[in-house]
Each structure stands twice: as C-alpha cells, then as structure tokens.
Amino acid sequence: MVVKSEFEKLGLQTIAVELGEVELANEISDKQKNILLENLQAVGFDLIDDKKSKTVERIKTLIIDLVHHKNNDLKINLSDYLAEDLSQDYNSLSNLFSEIENTTIEKYFISQKIEKVKELLVYNELSLSEIADILNYSNVAHLSNQFKKITGFTPTSFKKSKDKKRIQIENL
C-alpha cells in the first residue's frame, strides 16, 4: 500500500503492485523516477532498475514466495524451478546471485527455510515432525542439524527460549 501510494502521489497509474515489482500503465520520466526513488527510500524501500538487480530480486521473491506462502510446495529441484521461471541457465543465475548478494542461492534458500521454522516454532501449533514435513526436510534430524548450524540452537532450545529472535525477510 505504501509503495502504491508513492506512485499515485506522482500521478503514476499502477496496473499491479506485488512483492518486488510494480507494473505501470505508462512510461515514467527520469524526473519522476528520481522523485520516486527519494520518496521510496524515505519510507525504507529502494528502486531497482538495472537488469542484474531485477533478476536477483526476482530470485529472492520466488524463494520467499515458495518458502513462506506456498509451504515449500516444490515438485522439482530449486535450480530447475528458478531456471524455468526466469528462462535462464541456473549456473548464470547462481553466479549473478553470488556476485550481487555475497551468498549462494542455496544459503539464501536455507536461511528462508530456517526463518519459516522459527515462525512455526513460535506459533507452537505444529510438531517438529510436521514442520519438517511441511518444509520438505527428509527427516527431523536433518531439519534440526540445519537449524543448529544456522542459529546455534536446537529447535527445542529455541522454542523454550524467551528471546526468540527472528530476522526480517529483507535483512536475510
């Protein structure tokens, strides 16, 4: 809503506003783009305009959507999923992502999954076995090992902890 509002303040008609993307009805002038950039940065957003950054943001959006909204409902390998959606070779995507983000796609994917595990643990509605199943872990031990490697805690000790620190998606 905030992003859409900033576009509307400049008289720019949006067709669609989704996570990481805005589709406009008309072209935007350089002056409007500069004002928009300043306004978006003032409210904690940024304008991504170059092809490489757009591709990296699209990879992130696909992974976030997959993990946080589709319950990791992936029937093919992540590499095939990304390559198919972006119509690019996975190795090129992987190299670009690593170059821009200083981490691999796999590590980013795992960090998103661990944040989802934290969220589900905090809600305390599902067992660890159910969480492992939802997020396509082969077993609870694999989830637990990965969780401990990333957070330094076992899922059980995290669940018991009073200081449940979660990381905002955009800071991963």
Model's pTM, two decimal places? 0.69
pLDDT tens by residue, 45-77: 776 666 888 899 999 999 999 898 876 666 778
pLDDT tens by residue, 83-131: 999 999 999 999 999 998 999 999 999 999 999 999 999 888 899 999 9
Judged by DSSP in three states, 112 sits in helix
How far, in whole angstroms, is CA 62 from its chain's centroid? 7
Architecture category of domain 110-171 in CATH: Orthogonal Bundle (1.10)
Q: Parallel, antiparallel, or unpaired: how do β-strands 21-24 and 14-18 relate?
A: antiparallel
